[in-house]
Every structure is written in C-alpha cells, then in structure tokens.
C-alpha cells in the first residue's frame, strides 16, 4: 500500500468536518515531508508514512484540525532539525503545545521498571492533561507502531508489546476508547503469547464455521421481533476478540469449551427508553442467564460507558451476549473521550471544549491534581492509587524495585514475583513498615518487605490463595518436594528399624547396590516408596540381603488385644514382634510420632483418632503413608493377616509446642431444651475444641450425639468424659475407637 497522499488526508478530514482549514493541513503535510526527508522506518518505508498513518487513525475518530496537524508533525522535533519555535511560527501556539506534549512523552521510556516509572506516569499524565488530544495522538501513534511491530528487532518487540498491554491499552480503556483498546490488546497478545493467540484464533474460527448460521438466525430473529414491536434498531453480531477470550479463560481458569459467550450482539436504538423496551422483548423471547444482567445506562461506568448488557440462551442452546445502547452511547463506547473532543457548534478555530459530562476527563483531572501534591514518584503512585490500572497493582520492594501484580495479589504473590526462593522461604510480611498477614490484598504504592526463614516450605493451601500463575506453579513444585522429602524421611526411619530388627545396619550404599532389584532409580525413590507404603520394608531387606532367613511369623490370633503390658512393653505377638512403648518410657527404636504437622505423611484414624496416653500402632497404606490407631481399636482386626503393614510407633511430644489430637465421643442425651448447649459448654469450659457434631434421634426421648473433638492427651479426654457423665441430662458417654 502506498503512502497516503496530501489530498487523501484533506478528504478524510473534510468528510466529517466541512469547515476544515485545508491550507493548514496542506502546510503541515509539506513541512513534515521536508523535515523527515529521506529517513526510513524499520520496515523500509519512508519515515514520513508513519505520522500520516497516525493522522489517518485520528480521522477515524473524527478529530479536529489541530489534533490531525499535531499528529502529522509529532515526530519532527524529536527526529529532525525542526524546533518548537519554528512550529509555533508556522502553525500557531496551540499546535506547538500539542507537539511539545508529544515530544515530552516520547522522551519517557515508559518501560523502565524502577521508581522512575512513577515519575514517568506523572510526566505522561501531566502532558496529557494539559490537553487530552495529546493522549489521543499518543494512542494512535502506539496503535500504528503495534500494527508494524513485526518490523522491529525481536528483542525490542516483546518490551513494546508488554508496555502496550500494561500501560496504553488500559489507558485507552480508561478513556472509554473500546475499539482502540481491543486492537492494542490484540496486537500485543499476538507478540507476547503467540502460541496462545494462534490456538484461540483457530478455535474461534472452528466455532464460527460451526455456529455461523446461528448468528445469522439470531440476528434475523431479533430484527423481526423488534420491528414487530415498532422499534427501529440496528442489530449486528460479532465474535469476541481472541485476547478477551483468552483473558477470561485465564481469569476463570476455564477451558475454551466452557466459555459461554463467544458471540456478542449489539442492538443500537434511537432513544434511551428504547433500550429498556428491547431488553423486555429479548427477555420475553429467550431465557436470560441469571447474574449476567448489567445496566450501565442508569449507572454509567467511570469512563462514561453506557449500555445494557444481558446474556440469554438463544436458539440451539448457545449463550448469546447482548449489548443494547443508543447511537450516542455507541459513539462514546467506541471513541470514548474522543467523542467529546469535537468542535463546539462545528466552528473552526476554537479550541476544543471538552463536554462537561465526560467523567473520564474528570478522572484524569483529579488524578493530575493529586500529582501536584505528591512529592516523590512513590508518593504519586500511592496518592493516585493509580486508578488507571484497575486490574493491576504496583508495589515496591524496600529498595524501590517496582513489582507489577494483578489486582487481588497478596504478599505471597509479591514474594514469588521477586524470586522463587523468596516465595518458598516467606514466613511473614511488612506492608509499608507494618507487620501484616501474608494474605493481605496489596494496594497500589504499597512497599512490601518479606520476612524469610530458610528451610521453610510453603503450605500447600497457599496454592488456592494466590493469584499469579508463577506463585501457583512454584508452590505446587515446592509442596511436592517437601511432601516427598517427608515421605523419604519416614521411609528411612522404617528401614533403619527393619534392618536393626534383624541385626543389620542400614546404609544408603547397600541400598544403592540393590536399586536394580527394586526397580527404582535412586535411593530417594526407594525411601519415598517405603514411606508412602508402596513398598514394604521386608522387600527392601530381601533385596539387600537375598540370603536372609525369612522371619518366623506367629499366628495372628495370638495378638493379646489390650493385654496388660509386661515390664513396660506391650508384646504384639506378631511375627515382626512389634513393640509399643508406653508413654514416657526411655529408649526405644519405635518411630516417633508427633501431631498433624504440615503435610506430614502421618494421619490419625479417621473414625476416632488417637491421643497421647493411648498405646498406638501405625498401619501403612499404599500412597497414603501411615495411619495411627489406638491399640484397642477394632479397626485393626482388618490388618491381622498383613504383618508387613504394621509399624511400631511411639509418641514424641514437644513440651515447648503442645499440640491437640483428634478423639471422638458418643453420648445419649435427654430430649429437653438446652441439653446440647450443656454438652458444648462443658467441653468448651474444659478447653476441648469441638470439630464436628452429628445428631441422630432414635426415639422421642433420646438423642444420640457423636462429637469429634481435639484434646491435649488422654488425661484431658478422660476429664472431659467424666465431667459430661456428671450431667443430669446425659445418660451415657463413651469414647469411640474406630
């Protein structure tokens, strides 16, 4: 395509502004062409083609002569011998001011991500607010650069695309310029995530091919319905842009198939009240999707956007999103603030009067008033609460490094954005110097300091609480590693004890030699498998010492269930000769068990738990690690014939950090008012934590109540039970053992 000619530019402006100053436009064209001379762009086109394309984009927004001329001249001062004085003498003060604003912005490298970024925003906004038309030229300039981005060096390409997505697209959106915003996002998306862009585009085309007919049918149907009710309306269907679809897939983490509204319809009517009539007809024709109706006519968005949105289930069960608005609303929806930037009464020569009703402009003014007060760039960011980036927050490290995060991000996201290691070892945060929970939602301008502890692993629960993909992936990785480490640790303890029972010493080297026989790649793999219960200690023993005599097993029946311990030991009559140490007894080789630590591969019997003071036994379950049961638990009978699964375990309590343990009690209470309250109050007064209560009423007189609670130890549990037995309303109380 050749370069735009002088007369073409004039024709474009004249088409919407018959009073245009043709002489001014012609002079600007010639001046810029001479100034740029033989300069070339990266694409090999004459440089002068660029300002002309920018001017052409602005004629689509129907802007005034001064803006068009500023666009034609916007690169001259920066890139040629032209001076502002010269421009003023040829084109007047107003155009000089616009070009000056543009030159200033050009000097800002908005990409620098340091505290200087605050300074850059300030300059950008100050330049814009002086005259909003500066922003319009800047956005058009950026759009043309993005359209020709493939000519730029690859390493610069990504930077420019990211800056477009972070700064210019939201700015266009903030100013209500939807079309422009969408095209900027689209072009940036194509460069930042080419694979995603291609996939989404391809899927969109498939759907369009499949459902294209439905669109035509709905359009026709809508037109006929509205015409029958005497409403003059222009109906047009369109499919959503790949970027907005991809963003929705990311935001709601849904697949393409689950997306409901790939097609949207716009219904343009003459009067605001017609919008509501259309809405009525639409809702009476097709079922609406609840929760998707929004009325931005009665409450416009901050950038003046007005429209009614609703989603209905159209023919063929396809969900269809509708936007209903008047022609005037549509103009503002497309051009945003540019829709206000027209001549007053179409008289040339008068500076633009921005219509008072432009809330977008008021927003900009307010932001800039705050700029004047803020002293430092950081303060500026904090002051304005950078409303501009309603979907982003900008925070700082104590050294002033700027970290951009999505809205809703927490200090955990921040920590991972700084570095994976910082995230993995994060244990606390200070926000603006004050200690704050790690789940606080960060605000713009917050300074975040992360407290770290080495050897920490992030709790698995964090994964569901963070909003950045980076944090999520890192937490998942770290949790996997930590859990595996714990399983391997447990496996090592199990093997050391199994080996010492047959009077052999366990070592990694011996295990290494047997890896082939065990069909595992590393010592760690074996340890984790034993810890998870996927491989039994006996098999490892036999792999390391193939000629070892098999252990003699005594019949399972001889297990003295609940028999009195001799000399402090409780013999289990198992072939493995498992011993259970009584609490508080010195020296034993049983595996020490603590409470339910972080992601520990040890859990307590789901039906009744176990508490310190109980004699306990561990049962290995493949893939789940060890489950701890009290020795008198009836559930143990199920494992009688699987001696390999029994482990000797003992309590290992930390006096410095006491922990509660799970237990279950069952009671029968009289059906009279307040009896349940009596029970719960008694437990609470005795410092028991109730985890859940289940009630069943077998007859009108009694209620059976099962309570899961957590207590410090057996003594604590017994005290609670005996206290409950004292109560008149309670006929019996027993501990339940699963």
More confidently predicted of 48 and 387: 48
pLDDT at 416: 93
Share of the chain above pLDDT 70, in %: 78
600-627 exposure pattern, b = at least 16 Cβ within 10 A, e = fewer: bbbebbeebbbbbbbbbbbbbeeeebbb
- Among 106-120, 303-317, 504-518, name the one with the lowest average pLDDT: 106-120
Q: Give the phi and the psi of residue 106 in degrees, each rounded to 5.
A: -60, -35
pLDDT band at 124 (very low <50, low <70, confident <90, very high): low
Q: Give the phi and the psi of residue 288 in degrees, each rounded to 5.
A: -85, 155
- Among 272-276, 371-375, 510-514, name the one with the lowest average pLDDT: 371-375
CB 354 within 8 A of CB 364: no
pLDDT band at 302 (very low <50, low <70, confident <90, very high): low
Look at residue 136 and tell me whether its pLDDT is greater than 70.
yes
List the CATH code of the domain at 201-339: 3.30.460.10
CB 240 within 8 A of CB 182: no
pLDDT at 116: 52
In angstroms and rounded to an integer, the radius of gyration of the C-alpha atoms of the chain is 37
Write the CB contacts of 734 (distance below 8 Å, at least 6 apart in sequence). Answer: 665, 666, 667, 721
Q: Give the phi and the psi of residue 459 in degrees, each rounded to 5.
A: -60, 140
More confidently predicted of 489 and 657: 489
* Listed residue (144, 190, 184) closest to 168, CA to CA: 184
Look at residue 565 and tell me whether its pLDDT is greater than 50.
no
HSE of 366, CA atoms in CB hemisphere, 13 A: 13
List the CATH code of the domain at 661-736: 3.30.70.260
SS3 sequence, 361-390?
Answer: HHHHHHHHHHHHHCCCHHHHHHHHCCCCCC
Look at residue 730 and tell me whether its pLDDT is greater than 70.
yes
Write the CB contacts of 348 (distance below 8 Å, at least 6 apart in sequence). Answer: 17, 19, 20, 21, 64, 65
| Active-site choice (21, 22, 60, 79) | 79
* Listed residue (481, 365, 414) closest to 126, CA to CA: 365
Distance separating alpha carbons of residues 557 and 212, to the nearest angstrom: 73
pLDDT at 308: 92
Distance separating alpha carbons of residues 649 and 560, to the nearest angstrom: 18
pLDDT band at 393 (very low <50, low <70, confident <90, very high): confident
Write the CB contacts of 544 (distance below 8 Å, at least 6 apart in sequence). Answer: 504, 510, 511, 513, 514
Helix ranges (DSSP H) in 616-713: 675-685
Share of the chain above pLDDT 90, in %: 12
HSE of 731, CA atoms in CB hemisphere, 13 A: 10
pLDDT at 365: 55
Query: Is there a shared CATH topology between the 201-339 domain and the 377-473 domain?
Result: no
pLDDT at 208: 78
Distance separating alpha carbons of residues 565 and 460, to the nearest angstrom: 41
Residue with tokens 């099962």: 706
533 CB-contact burial (10 Å; exposed 0-12 / middle 13-18 / buried 19+): buried
CB 308 within 8 A of CB 275: yes
| Active-site choice (78, 327, 350, 441) | 78
CB 627 within 8 A of CB 612: no
CB 700 within 8 A of CB 671: yes
Look at residue 324 and tell me whether its pLDDT is greater than 90.
yes
CATH architecture of 6-192: Orthogonal Bundle (1.10)
More confidently predicted of 561 and 648: 648
Helix ranges (DSSP H) in 229-355: 242-251, 272-285, 327-335
The pair of structure tokens assigned to 52 is: 């002309």
List strand residue ranges (DSSP E) for 407-548, in order: 426-431, 434-436, 448-452
Q: Is 78 a catalytic residue?
A: yes
HSE of 96, CA atoms in CB hemisphere, 13 A: 12
pLDDT at 362: 57
Distance separating alpha carbons of residues 387 and 395, to the nearest angstrom: 14
Q: Is 79 a catalytic residue?
A: yes
pLDDT band at 328 (very low <50, low <70, confident <90, very high): confident
Neighbours of 308 (CB within 10 A): 22
Averaged pLDDT score across all residues of the chain: 78
In this prediction, residues 76-100 reach a mean pLDDT of: 86
In this prediction, residues 525-542 reach a mean pLDDT of: 86
Distance separating alpha carbons of residues 267 and 221, to the nearest angstrom: 13
List the CATH code of the domain at 377-473: 3.10.20.30
pLDDT at 363: 52
pLDDT at 118: 53
Please report the DSSP string for 432-466 in residue order.
Answer: TTEEE-TTPPP-TT-BEEEEE-TT----GGGGGT-
Distance separating alpha carbons of residues 689 and 691, to the nearest angstrom: 6
Look at residue 56 and tell me whether its pLDDT is greater than 50.
yes
Domain boundaries defined on the chain: 6-192, 201-339, 377-473, 478-544, 556-651, 661-736
pLDDT band at 368 (very low <50, low <70, confident <90, very high): low
pTM of the model: 0.47
Q: Give the phi and the psi of residue 680 in degrees, each rounded to 5.
A: -65, -40
Torsion over CA of 621, 627, 628 and 634, rounded to 10 degrees?
-70
């Amino acid at each position: 395509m050749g370069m735009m000619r002088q007369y073409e530019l004039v024709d474009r402006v004249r088409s919407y502004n018959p009073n245009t100053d043709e002489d001014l436009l012609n002079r600007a064209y010639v001046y810029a062409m001479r100034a740029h001379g033989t300069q070339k762009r990266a694409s090999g086109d004459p440089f002068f083609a660029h300002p002309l394309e920018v001017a052409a984009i602005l004629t689509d927004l129907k802007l005034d002569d001064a803006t068009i001329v500023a666009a034609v001249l916007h690169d001259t001062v920066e890139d040629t011998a032209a001076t502002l004085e010269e421009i003023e003498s040829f084109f007047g003060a107003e155009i000089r001011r616009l070009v000056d604003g543009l030159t200033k912005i050009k000097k800002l490298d908005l990409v620098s991500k340091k505290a200087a970024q605050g300074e850059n925003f300030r300059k950008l906004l100050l330049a814009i607010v002086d005259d909003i038309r500066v922003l319009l030229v800047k956005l058009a300039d950026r759009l043309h650069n993005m359209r020709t981005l493939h000519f730029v060096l690859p390493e610069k390409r990504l930077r420019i695309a990211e800056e477009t997505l972070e700064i210019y697209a939201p700015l266009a959106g903030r100013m209500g310029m939807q079309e422009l915003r969408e095209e900027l996002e689209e072009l940036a998306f194509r460069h930042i995530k080419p694979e995603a862009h291609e996939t989404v585009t391809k899927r969109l085309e498939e759907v369009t091919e499949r459902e294209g007919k439905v669109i035509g049918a709905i359009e026709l149907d809508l037109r006929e319905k509205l015409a029958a009710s005497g409403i003059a309306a222009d109906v047009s269907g369109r499919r959503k842009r790949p970027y907005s679809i991809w963003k929705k897939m990311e935001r709601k983490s849904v697949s393409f198939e689950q997306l409901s509204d790939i097609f949207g319809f716009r219904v343009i009517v003459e009067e605001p009240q017609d919008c509501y009539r259309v809405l009525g007809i639409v809702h009476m024709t097709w079922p609406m999707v609840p929760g998707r109706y929004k009325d931005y006519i009665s409450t416009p968005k901050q950038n003046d956007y007005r429209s009614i949105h609703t989603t209905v289930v159209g023919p063929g069960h396809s969900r269809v999103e509708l936007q209903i608005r008047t022609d005037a609303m549509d103009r503002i929806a497309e051009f945003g603030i540019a829709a206000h930037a027209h001549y007053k009464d179409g008289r040339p020569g008068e500076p633009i009067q921005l219509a008072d009703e432009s809330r977008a402009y008021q927003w900009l003014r307010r932001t800039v008033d705050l700029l004047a007060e803020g002293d430092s760039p950081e303060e500026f960011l904090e002051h304005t609460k950078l409303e501009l980036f309603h979907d982003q927050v900008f925070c700082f490290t104590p050294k002033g490094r700027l970290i951009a995060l999505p809205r809703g991000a927490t200090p955990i996201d921040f920590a991972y954005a700084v570095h994976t290691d910082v995230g993995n070892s994060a244990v606390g945060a200070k926000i603006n110097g004050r200690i704050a929970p790690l789940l606080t939602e960060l605000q713009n301008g917050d300074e975040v300091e992360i407290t770290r502890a080495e050897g920490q692993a992030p709790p698995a629960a964090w994964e569901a609480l963070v909003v950045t993909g980076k944090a999520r992936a890192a937490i998942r990785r770290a949790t996997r590693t930590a859990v595996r480490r714990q399983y391997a640790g447990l496996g090592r303890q199990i093997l050391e004890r199994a080996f010492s029972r047959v009077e052999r010493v366990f070592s990694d080297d011996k295990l290494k030699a047997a890896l082939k026989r065990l069909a595992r790649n590393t010592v760690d793999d074996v340890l984790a498998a034993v810890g998870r219960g996927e491989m039994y200690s006996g098999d490892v023993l036999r792999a390391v010492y193939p000629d070892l005599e098999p252990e003699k097993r005594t019949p399972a029946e001889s297990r003295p269930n609940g028999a009195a311990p001799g000399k402090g030991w409780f013999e289990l009559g198992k072939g493995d000769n498992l011993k259970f140490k009584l609490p508080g007894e010195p020296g034993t080789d049983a595996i020490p068990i603590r409470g339910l630590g972080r992601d520990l591969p040890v859990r307590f019997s789901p039906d009744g738990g176990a508490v310190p003071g109980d004699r306990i036994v561990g049962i290995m379950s493949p893939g789940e690690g060890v489950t701890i049961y009290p020795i008198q638990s009836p559930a143990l009978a199920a494992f009688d014939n699987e001696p390999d699964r029994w482990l000797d375990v003992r309590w290992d309590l930390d006096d410095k950090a006491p922990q509660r343990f799970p237990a279950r009690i069952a009671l029968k209470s009289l059906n009279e008012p307040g009896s349940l309250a009596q029970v719960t109050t008694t437990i609470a007064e005795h410092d028991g934590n109730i985890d859940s209560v289940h009630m069943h009423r077998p007859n009108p007189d009694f209620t059976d109540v099962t309570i899961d609670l957590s207590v410090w130890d057996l003594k604590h549990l017994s005290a609670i039970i005996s206290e409950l037995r004292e109560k008149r309303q309670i006929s019996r109380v027993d501990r339940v053992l699963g």
